[in-house]
Structure 1
Amino acid sequence: MLAVIRYSVPEARAEEFELHAREVIDLFSAQSGFLRGQVGRSVDEPNLWALVSEWEGAGFYRRALSAARMTMYPLMTLMINEPGAFEQVYPKG
């Protein structure tokens, strides 16, 4: 399962955002079912960021979100409200 959370981050908050996003990935990495994660920034729209993680299944991801909610709290106001959990339909590689 692939999880993508996008954020709209003003330039003045980019450094702070990146530190918090790294903390979230670090916290996720300690959770059961976590496979990998990364923080990315759009090359075309620098205010658009993504926190991307891969999980063994949706249940693992949802439990990790619950465990990470206090760490994620400072990022909530920057989050773009959209579906972010994706089932893999064609894995390759």
Structure 2
Amino acid sequence: MLVVSRFRVPASDASAFRSDMEVAHAALAERPGYLDGTLGRNVDDPELWVLSTRWENVGAYRRALSAYDVKLHAVPLLSRAIDEPSAYEVAEPGTDLNVASARALG
């Protein structure tokens, strides 16, 4: 599972934001099911940042979000992300993808 969170950050806040993003990433990286992650800044638009993480499955990511350290260090940063879908299934050759349909809530 891939999570891509993009952020629009004014240049004047870039240094503080980068530090906050490193702390948030470290908190996420400590959680079970985390595989790897990357922080980045867009080369054409330096106010656009990304935090990309990979997880064993969607459940591991969702459980990570409820951990105390993540709520303390990552959720405040993630709440600043651009409002767009961020969770993706990895489409590797030969894998079946989820069926595109509404999901039941209960």
Task: Please say whether Structure 1 and Structure 2 have the same fold, judged by a TM-score greater than 0.5.
Answer: yes
Which deviates more from structure 2 when the two are superposed, residues 58-67 or residues 4-13?
A: 58-67
Cα distance per residue 1:32-79 (max 9 Å; x no partner): 000001110000110000001000000111111222122135435631
Unaligned runs of 5+ in 2: 94-106
Tell me the secondary structure at the aligned position of residue 46 of structure 2: coil
Residues 1:22 and 1:81: Cα distance change in structure 2 (over 3 Å): same
What corresponds to 2:99 in structure 1?
none
When the two structures are superposed, what TM-score results if normalisation uses the length of structure 2?
Answer: 0.78
CA 1:64–1:9 in structure 2 vs 1: closer, same or farther (change >3 Å)? same
Matched residue SS, 1:39: strand
Counterpart in 1 of 2:11? 11
Number of corresponding residues: 91
Higher helix share: 1
Letter in 2 for 1:11: A
Checking the alignment, whether the CA contact within 8 Å between 2:5 and 2:78 is kept in structure 1 is no
TM alignment of 1:1-93, pairs within 5 A: 1-67=1-67, 68-76=70-78, 78-90=80-92
Which amino acid in the other structure matches residue 79 of structure 1? A
Q: Which runs of 4+ in 1 moved over 3 A?
A: none
Give the Cα separation in 1 of the matches to 2:77 and 2:33. Answer: 23
> Could you tell me the TM-score, scaled by structure 1's length?
0.89
Higher CA-based Rg: 2
